[in-house]
A and B are shown apart, each in its own frame.
Chain A
């Protein structure tokens, strides 16, 4: 039982990283039916900015975070303009490639600017280890879990308690009708992309003490987060939170009770199974709303 709980805790801590990244996929999908396929690379930029601001320039975290949010927002506006808007407007699916192109641009730029070695960013609460009886967890891992819950709660409040959030959902329902209601749908599309970018940056900020800052830190995490978003359903934020944690736990348990080598086979087979049985995801509502 102790073995099980040890592994479960470490798995949930890793799963929170997936949830935190995966939510980004859902926001632009909700508004534009568009995905930023390079989200993991945006997370990496967040991590690298944290390295620069916090470690290299010595700013404290309360200055680092707002500066990072501002930079990510600007990158988000530019990214939407160059990699989504021209193709979205033309009704083309080229954004699949163009968002990835931006991601590779990020990786190569990061290698030129920051080099290739993994560089440590100190944990926000020091190097201590928190013990629950015999179970150990890093304070930063708790912070990741807590941040995931806070961000998902805020997102829920945003979607269901604010006018803007309702506009987001309205566009998901029908962009034309929303436009006729006097809502600037173009602005909302940009805003949703910027939200995605900022959330990715914040995810990078929170996870970089765990993953180390390096140009490839987000690539595989972004891919696994994508699997999580698909399994949960791209339009179901709460499902994404749950599925991220569950996926992390499942991975760790597969490593613990079977073998690391079979872990991804299990994970991705599950994804395919879900897609066959429920194309809209475990928590997604059946499509058709947006006729």
Chain B
């Protein structure tokens, strides 16, 4: 028995040593990029979209020979949307798996928690594709003008609130806006940002209503917004409660224009809301419905053949896809040293991504958000598709699959 245990111990030690050495040698053979995201639990659709976007980009780059002959390897960890696990995963990815760059996770709180650890200890660049809290990139290192390793290619809270308020006021011509926000999570920060922007614009919200997670009938809130004379309603919340709002509006035959932050920029909203979601506007970074560029189309087709379904979280998928390509471009130029990659990211003069073709520096030392308010787009839910709203002299319009141009009636958001 005793002999047996000792043999086990020797075997175990040997196994650990082998693991250690393969880890080390692998790091030299491949370029390792890390990802920790919620792959299980309620936020899984965001995490899985990110993982698939990164995977498809990695495979496409490797198929063309990788970066200077080296293949990219994606190392993925599940953090279950739990900030504690995100921080632990990031540490493990950097210290043991020796990744030289990372993609950000699904949870703003986790990104806020990990930012100081990445900047002060791990010093490996991380680019966030999904989380929108403003302070993620404008963190302590940024404030102190030290090297900031945290970047974002996606929505950021302040920009989104500004974009929504500006668009509705300037492009749609509303003067009296009402708010309807979720009392939990990012609804609270969104409400603050929206109120700030509306005050800056000199037209404070005419009504500032909220709802809880369990509210299935929004009659009191809608009636109050209506009696306050709101010409349009802005929401900050998630898909499910947004569907309750549109259904209540349908019940009350209320045609007040309705716009939301990007909580509804995913097919889950239409599935829940059905026809009551027709005409609803949302800020987002990308619309994959309607006419698409050839590059996007080939990625969309490949996604369909690879996973056999439509993308659950298009903004996250495409952001992750672009992040991996951006990292590959930078690593190809500056090599594999993490701090050189960080500096390299701040010096990309042009980048052709699928979300945007950046004809200006993607990031600068001061600005770690790739997308500015000017890059955000407004989508209109149109018969199950989220179509990008565009503008000309006659007002806002969308282009249907049939290439037909339809103007939006700003009084009701119906198509003319």
A116 touches B45 (CB 8 A): yes
A7 touches B219 (CB 8 A): yes
- Among listed B61-69, B267-275, B334-342, B352-360, interface-contacting one: B267-275
A10 touches B41 (CB 8 A): no
Indicate whether A111 reaches chain B with its CB closer than 8 angstroms.
yes
Chain B residues near A256 (CB-CB < 8 A): 219-220, 223-224
What CA separation (Å) do A214 and B244 show in the bound complex?
14
Chain B residues near A253 (CB-CB < 8 A): 220
What CA separation (Å) do A111 and B39 show in the bound complex?
12
What CA separation (Å) do A210 and B243 show in the bound complex?
11
A116 touches B41 (CB 8 A): yes
A129 touches B251 (CB 8 A): yes
Q: Given the known A-B contacts A118-B272, A120-B274, A212-B243, are A220 and B214 also in contact in the complex, defined by CB atoms under 8 Å?
A: yes
What CA separation (Å) do A264 and B215 show in the bound complex?
12
Chain B residues near A10 (CB-CB < 8 A): 217, 219-220, 248
Interface residues in A132-179 by Cβ distance below 8 A to B read 136-138, 141
Contact of B41 among A111, A119, A261, A263 (CB under 8 A): A111
Chain A residues near B366 (CB-CB < 8 A): none
- Size band of the interface chain A makes with B: 35 or more
Q: Given the known A-B contacts A214-B240, A224-B214, are A117 and B250 also in contact in the complex, defined by CB atoms under 8 Å?
A: no
What CA separation (Å) do A177 and B313 show in the bound complex?
62
Indicate whether A236 reaches chain B with its CB closer than 8 angstroms.
no
Chain B residues near A6 (CB-CB < 8 A): 219, 223, 252
- Size band of the interface chain B makes with A: 35 or more
Chain B residues near A99 (CB-CB < 8 A): none
Q: Given the known A-B contacts A129-B251, A261-B183, A261-B210, are A252 and B216 also in contact in the complex, defined by CB atoms under 8 Å?
A: no
Chain B window 307-319, contacts with chain A (Cβ cutoff 8 Å), 1 for yes, 0 for no: 0000010000000
Chain B window 214-240, contacts with chain A (Cβ cutoff 8 Å), 1 for yes, 0 for no: 111101110110010000000000011
Indicate whether B400 reaches chain A with its CB closer than 8 angstroms.
no
Chain B residues near A212 (CB-CB < 8 A): 240, 243, 272
What CA separation (Å) do A224 and B212 show in the bound complex?
12
B211 touches A260 (CB 8 A): yes
Chain B residues near A137 (CB-CB < 8 A): 251
What CA separation (Å) do A212 and B219 show in the bound complex?
18
Closest B residue to A214 by beta carbon equals B240
Indicate whether B44 reaches chain A with its CB closer than 8 angstroms.
yes
Chain B residues near A211 (CB-CB < 8 A): 216
Indicate whether B213 reaches chain A with its CB closer than 8 angstroms.
yes
Closest beta carbon of chain A to B243's beta carbon, Å: 7
B223 touches A116 (CB 8 A): no
A210 touches B216 (CB 8 A): yes
Chain B window 46-68, contacts with chain A (Cβ cutoff 8 Å), 1 for yes, 0 for no: 00000000000000000000000
Closest B residue to A252 by beta carbon equals B220
Chain A residues near B223 (CB-CB < 8 A): 3, 6-7, 256
What CA separation (Å) do A119 and B267 show in the bound complex?
11
A260 touches B209 (CB 8 A): yes
By CB atoms of chain A within 10 A, which of B219, B243, B271 has the most?
B219
What CA separation (Å) do A91 and B213 show in the bound complex?
37
A118 touches B239 (CB 8 A): yes
Which A-B residue pairs are the 5 nearest by beta carbons?
Answer: A220-B214, A256-B220, A10-B219, A255-B220, A118-B240
Question: A-side interface residues toward B, CB under 8 Å?
Answer: 3, 6-7, 9-11, 13-14, 17, 111, 115-120, 127, 129, 136-138, 141, 210-212, 214-216, 220-221, 224, 252-253, 255-256, 259-261, 263-264
In the assembled complex, 13 residue pairs joining A and B whose CB atoms fall closer than 8 Å, in A order, are A9-B219, A10-B248, A116-B45, A118-B272, A127-B274, A129-B250, A141-B217, A210-B216, A214-B240, A224-B214, A260-B210, A260-B211, A263-B212
Additional pairs, 19, CB under 8 Å, beyond known A120-B272, A216-B42: A3-B223, A6-B252, A7-B219, A10-B220, A14-B216, A116-B41, A118-B240, A118-B268, A118-B272, A136-B251, A210-B216, A210-B217, A216-B213, A220-B213, A220-B214, A252-B219, A260-B209, A260-B210, A263-B212
